[in-house]
Chain A
Amino acid sequence: NSKVIQTPRYLVKGQGQKAKMRCIPEKGHPVVFWYQQNKNNEFKFLINFQNQEVLQQIDMTEKRFSAECPSNSPCSLEIQSSEAGDSALYLCASRSRDKNTGQLYFGEGSKLTVL
């Protein structure tokens, strides 16, 4: 059973609308990832955080997405202006600080459909 909680499970937006997803990482995990998974099951890394700070992000995320992981609040990923190509499953994952063996723990995802 996943201890990473993602909400909502499903969201439907029109093109140009904002789409916001939230994630509560597993307790004690300071590192949080967001991935986009397409219909072909391929993962695209979007952004990751350690505590409240961005570690890495791709160009698309920097330009079109807004993401944060405030202390004592859920992490969030928001698409500022949804496009049809953004329809995908958005997965949040968290892990420990141990770089040697720490695996990712995933939530069940937020499935976005952009009409």
Chain B
Amino acid sequence: GDSVTQTEGPVTLSEGTSLTVNCSYETKQYPTLFWYVQYPGEGPQLLFKVPKANEKGSNRGFEATYNKEATSFHLQKASVQESDSAVYYCALSERSNYQLIWGSGTKLIIKP
């Protein structure tokens, strides 16, 4: 079945450094790929989505490219801020139904 694997956390970085959270997926379909972010005490919220292969999504300085050949969707940010501290989830949607397949989440801790 479909699956999503992402960097195991927690990931601890200093403010101003660069971030990469790896995400790899397995599917026989043509999914839309998502990055969600969850701040403490809140529900997950969409960071961005990319429905088409080889396109890039971005929001708030975060970006990821839907790499169909490598089946990857790595999240990157050039310079993280303390307010980026949260849990980040990679997910894919199955077009055959309404399900989202979730990665296990990566807790990001940014130190000032």
- Bitwise interface map of A from 33 to 59 toward B, beta carbon under 8 Å scored 1, else 0: 100000011110100101000011000
- Bitwise interface map of B from 19 to 54 toward A, beta carbon under 8 Å scored 1, else 0: 000000000000010100010011111100101000
Binding site for B on A (CB under 8 A): 2, 4, 6, 31, 33, 40-43, 45, 48, 50, 55-56, 91, 93, 95, 99-109
Instruction: Report yes or no: B44 in contact with A106, Cβ–Cβ below 8 A.
Output: yes
Instruction: Report yes or no: A108 in contact with B43, Cβ–Cβ below 8 A.
Output: yes
By a CB distance below 8 angstroms, the chain B residues around A40 are 104
Number of A-B contacts (CB under 8 A): 61
Is the CB of B68 closer than 8 A to any CB of chain A? no
Known: A2-B45, A93-B43. 5 other contacts (CB 8 A): A41-B38, A99-B95, A99-B96, A99-B98, A109-B43
For window 3-33 of B, CB contacts with A under 8 Å fall at: 32
For window 66-112 of B, CB contacts with A under 8 Å fall at: 87, 89, 93, 95-100, 102, 104-105, 107
Instruction: Tell which of B44, B96, B98, B105 has the most Cβ of chain A within 10 Å.
Output: B98
- Set A41, A100, A104, A107: member contacting B107, Cβ < 8 A: A41
Bound Cα distance A31, B100 (Å):
13
Closest residue of chain B to A35, judged by CB? B102
A-B residue pairs in contact (CB < 8 Å), sample of 19: A2-B42, A2-B43, A40-B104, A41-B87, A41-B104, A41-B107, A42-B104, A42-B105, A43-B102, A50-B98, A55-B97, A56-B99, A95-B98, A99-B95, A100-B32, A100-B95, A102-B93, A103-B49, A107-B43
Interface size class of chain B, counting residues whose CB lies under 8 Å from the partner chain: 20 to 34
- Set A43, A107, A108: member contacting B41, Cβ < 8 A: A108
Bound Cα distance A55, B96 (Å):
12
Instruction: Report yes or no: B99 in contact with A106, Cβ–Cβ below 8 A.
Output: no
By a CB distance below 8 angstroms, the chain B residues around A2 are 42-43, 45
Instruction: Report yes or no: B98 in contact with A31, Cβ–Cβ below 8 A.
Output: yes
Bound Cα distance A39, B89 (Å):
15
Instruction: Report yes or no: B46 in contact with A103, Cβ–Cβ below 8 A.
Output: yes
Closest residue of chain A to B95, judged by CB? A99
Instruction: Report yes or no: B49 in contact with A101, Cβ–Cβ below 8 A.
Output: yes
